Amino acid sequence: MSEKKANKWGGVLSKDDSSTKKPQFGDGNDAIAWAAQDSGVDYVSHYPGSPVNRVLDVLSAEKSPDYLINHALNEHIAALATLGASLCGARSLLVMKHVGLNIAADPLNYSAVTKIKRGMVVVVGTDPGARSSTGEEDVHWYAPQFNLPLLEPVSVQNVYDLVKQAFVFSEETQMPVLLFVPGRIAYQSSLIDRNVERRVAERFQFHKDPENLINVGARAVRNHRGHILRLQSFQAKTSLSHPQFNKEASFGVVTRGASHAICCEVIESLGLQDKVALLNIQLTHPLNIQPFIDFAQHKSKIVIIEDQDGFLETMIKREAFGKVGCELHGKDTFPVWGELDDAQIRDFFTQEFNCEQEISPKITVDCPERPGSFCEGCPHRSSFYGIDGALEVLTEPEAETRTKAETLEKTLAKTEPPRKGQKSRGVYFSGIIGGDIGCSSLPPHRTDWLLCMNAGVGISQGIAQLVPQQPLISTGGEGSFFHGGIVSLQSAIENNINLTHLIFDNRSVAMTGHQDSPTSSGKTDMRKLLEAIGVNHIFEVNAFKSSEVSEAIQTAQQIQGVKVIWVRGDCALQPNAEALRRFKERKLFIHNDRCNGCSLCYDKLQCPAIVRKENKNKQLVIDLQRCRRCTACLDVCPNHAIEVDDPNG
Amino acid sequence: MANLNRETKVSNLIIAGIGGQGINSLAKVLANALLESGYHCQFTVHKGGAQSLGCVFAEIRIGHKKLAILGQGIPQGQLDFLIALEPWEALRHIRLANPDTIAWVEEKPQALFVERSNERPIESPQNQLSALPVSMHWRSYQDEAKEKFGTHKMANYLAGKDCLMALKKDKISIEPKLFDKLFYSTIKKAVVL
């Protein structure tokens, strides 16, 4: 594939022409993709993750792309593949979310010493406020660890401009350039001015370069030195710092990323343009401190307003130490957690300048969080119903244990009543469910932890070894399994760990936008793969039959060693032809004369398509507008009150 | 606060609902309709990891003149219009409202699922919203869409029509025909229907 492209593109690099397109309306994801296209990107690799999950949708939608796409199975592979492309003379783009940078960190630590031959841009979607992630980890600290330049856009247009700029900086420094896009800019939309560079790529070729690519011994130290000198040279001559408002004001504000726009709006709406000087810094690593020192002249106080840990504040204080005389504040004023919002910044300026504000009456309401839920027809819903059922059986205590537990329950109930539906506090006989990232973790209460990729199969191993008496089921989707779960499972086998692991195979990396997985592409035979790594007990079950899931778990728990329950059921939002037929032809009913109101389907299965009638009896009915005809509810009803009418069986 | 005058005033609109109701698509259609009608706008869609049934909302900021740099969030007390396809989601954003805010809200709530495990009693969103000093218009977007178009999925179309009506208060006018054209060309399900 690469060979074909190299031949097609044989030619000499030139940037002799460019054209401007009509402004287009797009969001931060569009801006990243369009900037890459307009920069003549040759190669793109990624691992999907919000908030930059749409970048590859945009790039993939191009009918006749001038670039190759590598849908890597994890960020480590994506980073290495992208590095390989840049070593062959291709402009390359790497896209991942913030936690993916942990996985890609190993190769990125070494990327700069290779002296890449063409620009490599690493776009990372960050998530202050953890809107679409399990954590708001601040990945800024990787920039000084990798010793790579870091750019931080403030708006959608700025995303576009800085991605293009990043390719230029990368080629200038011969090292990858990082670009962080926070969620609220990635999902913000506005008009984007585009400017297309017309490039004819060089013939891609890998030149042997042992001086830079065999990085051991004395060469490793020398290459490290070369890398740092290149970075220092770049730092000395490059700064992307923009002063605004009254430069002579004695009060200064420094911003980066998304906090810039909020500060501008607050300063303008409070009429403080004459009283405040603002400096926005886009190249936050390596930090050229001179513009800041110039800005700090005649200031009595400067506050650095940024999301998260205070990376820019740290860099400024490090570089400006002993060079400025004014007060410097940052994280002593604003929190390191959450996403800074208008209210926090407005409050700060209002107090600082004793502004009068028109204050609207404060509105207080009681609005519970809407936790994630499985979609109608989601295979995970009935799978978890099956897991719960199995654990109920497996944790049924002996009479003596039960008596002790019940006594303790009664004692505890006096101080803290159990919630409705809560059978036990888990003092004696609760089962453990290991949770993983992905759609299977959407209702956050279904598993016992929700932390990072492969935490299901990973954390479970330590627990299984230390508390073997407690029934434990580890879970994870097939996306996680192929991301790093294979090695985790193999490690459990090598260590003779007694583990029952469920792989939810919905044939889609669903949560991040339904990217293909190796089981949907059909290129990987899951059973053979599991057998090859030493799994001797594989149970293949239908995700929509909770009883099958439950029975398989109960059987597996009687067997020592690693057992895999391969739970198969397609994502409801990616219906195959049979699912579409079912949806069109099937109808499901609840026979109210047979329903005894146990409400397992409503309360425990929690299918959104099963609703209560707004009548006196509050009877349960199936909303056929919502029902996906997965028939998971049939398996749940103990009274056979739910029936399916399918003219074609 | 130094209020912005009519020329520079930014109108702030939130469209809220849950995943699967077409909030993102409606925001895109409205944004394009605004641009084609000569206004300036930026919008941000917020959604979590859920593919459907999670909270989704779009913050749309509209100006008669080119927008200066604006923060991505609507400031407290500066929400002009709220259109919600679900009453809990209206309640979630009503804290940004002021006494002049106008809200159009679907009256039928969608399960929060915490309700089903019933961890604590919560006053209904309808009662809470009705008690606030905000101009509330209760709508039956879902039922009306089912009746008119045969599916509740067209509720976002009806909500879009209310957005057009709402924006007129700030002298922002979009031709209904333009909205229809963009809606039907953008939202494939509408064409299928």
Task: Return the CATH number at B22.
Answer: 3.40.920.10
Query: What is the C-alpha end-to-end distance of chain B, expressed in Å?
Result: 48
Number of structural domains found in chain B: 1
Measured between beta carbons, the chain B residues lying within 8 angstroms of A365 are 91, 94-95, 128-129, 132
Q: How far apart are CA A28 and CA A25, in angstroms?
A: 10
- Residue B121 belongs to a domain: no
B98 burial via Cβ count (<10 Å: 0-12, 13-18, 19+) = middle
Q: How far apart are CA A163 and CA A180, in angstroms?
A: 10
| A70 and A120 both lie in a single domain | yes
One-character DSSP codes across B22-84: -HHHHHHHHHHHHHHTT-EEEEEEEE-S-SSSSEEEEEEEEESS------SSPPTT-EEEEEE
Q: pLDDT for A605-649, tens place per residue?
A: 989 899 888 777 788 999 888 899 999 999 999 999 999 988 776
User: What's the rounded mean pLDDT across residues A260-277?
Assistant: 94
- Residue B105 belongs to a domain: yes
Number of structural domains found in chain A: 4
The minimum CA-CA distance between A341 and chain B, rounded to whole Å, is 7
| A220 and A142 both lie in a single domain | yes
Of all helices (H) and strands (E), which one includes residue A642? strand A642-645
Phi first, then psi: give them for residue A112, nearest 5 degrees.
Answer: -70, -30
B58 burial via Cβ count (<10 Å: 0-12, 13-18, 19+) = buried
- Residue B92 belongs to a domain: yes
- Grouping H, G, I as helix, E, B as strand and the rest as coil, residue A222 is helix
| A532 and A511 both lie in a single domain | yes
Residue A108 pLDDT class (50, 70, 90 cuts):
very high
Q: pLDDT for A295-348, tens place per residue?
A: 999 899 999 999 999 999 999 999 999 999 999 999 999 999 999 999 999 999
Token digits of residue A313: 């504040």
- Residue A404 belongs to a domain: no
> Quick check: A72 and A47 in contact, CB under 8 A?
yes
Between positions 76 and 135 of B, the ones with CB within 8 A of A are 76-77, 88-89, 91-92, 94-95, 97-99, 110-114, 116-119, 122-123, 125, 128-129, 132-134
Closest listed residue to residue B152, CA positions, set B52, B21, B61, B51: B21
Average pLDDT, chain A: 90
Scored b (16 or more CB within 10 A) or e, A141-174 reads ebbbebbbbbbbbbbbbbbbbbbbbbbebbbbbb
> Quick check: A91 and A168 in contact, CB under 8 A?
no
pLDDT in the model for residue B30? 94
Handedness of CA A454, A456, A462, A464 (dihedral sign): negative
pLDDT in the model for residue A412? 66
Measured between beta carbons, the chain A residues lying within 8 angstroms of B84 are none
Q: Which domain holds residue B71?
A: 10-111+129-188
| A202 and A278 both lie in a single domain | no
Token digits of residue A608: 């959104």
| A229 and A150 both lie in a single domain | yes
Maximum average pLDDT range among A579-583, B4-8, B85-89: B85-89
Look at B42 and A154 and tell me if their CB atoms are within 8 Å: no
| A184 and A84 both lie in a single domain | yes
So what's the ipTM on this one? 0.89
- Residue B158 belongs to a domain: yes
Q: Hey, how many other C-beta atoms are within 10 angstroms of the C-beta on A255?
A: 26
- Residue A329 belongs to a domain: yes
| A584 and A529 both lie in a single domain | no
Closest listed residue to residue A68, CA positions, set A166, A164, A167, A2: A2
Measured between beta carbons, the chain B residues lying within 8 angstroms of A154 are 69
Q: pLDDT for A478-522, tens place per residue?
A: 999 999 999 999 999 999 999 999 999 998 888 877 888 888 888
| A42 and A176 both lie in a single domain | yes
Token digits of residue A426: 């888990």
Residue A134 pLDDT class (50, 70, 90 cuts):
confident
Closest listed residue to residue A271, CA positions, set A353, A175, A340, A159: A353
Position A218 pLDDT exceeds 90: yes
Task: Return the CATH number at A479.
Answer: 3.40.50.970
| A262 and A225 both lie in a single domain | no
Position A1 pLDDT exceeds 90: no
Number of helices (H), then strands (E), belonging to chain A: the values are 24, 23
pLDDT in the model for residue A6? 40
A-chain residue closest to B56, CA distance: A370
pLDDT in the model for residue B4? 40
Q: pLDDT for B66-120, tens place per residue?
A: 766 677 789 888 999 999 999 999 999 999 999 999 999 999 888 776 545 555 6
- Residue B139 belongs to a domain: yes
Q: Which domain holds residue A346?
A: 241-353
Going by DSSP bridges, is the β-strand pair A642-645/B10-18 parallel, antiparallel, or unpaired?
unpaired
Q: pLDDT for A353-393, tens place per residue?
A: 999 776 677 888 888 888 888 888 999 999 999 999 999 98
pLDDT in the model for residue A584? 84
Closest listed residue to residue A175, CA positions, set A212, A140, A136, A202: A212
Residue B152 pLDDT class (50, 70, 90 cuts):
confident
Measured between beta carbons, the chain B residues lying within 8 angstroms of A359 are 77
Look at B122 and A608 and tell me if their CB atoms are within 8 Å: no
A547 burial via Cβ count (<10 Å: 0-12, 13-18, 19+) = middle
> How much of chain B is in helix, strand and coil states, percent to nearest 5?
40, 25, 35
Q: How far apart are CA A572 and CA A439, in angstroms?
A: 11
- Residue B4 belongs to a domain: no
Task: Return the CATH number at A613.
Answer: 3.30.70.20
- Residue A111 belongs to a domain: yes
Phi first, then psi: give them for residue B57, nearest 5 degrees.
Answer: -150, 150
Position A455 pLDDT exceeds 90: yes
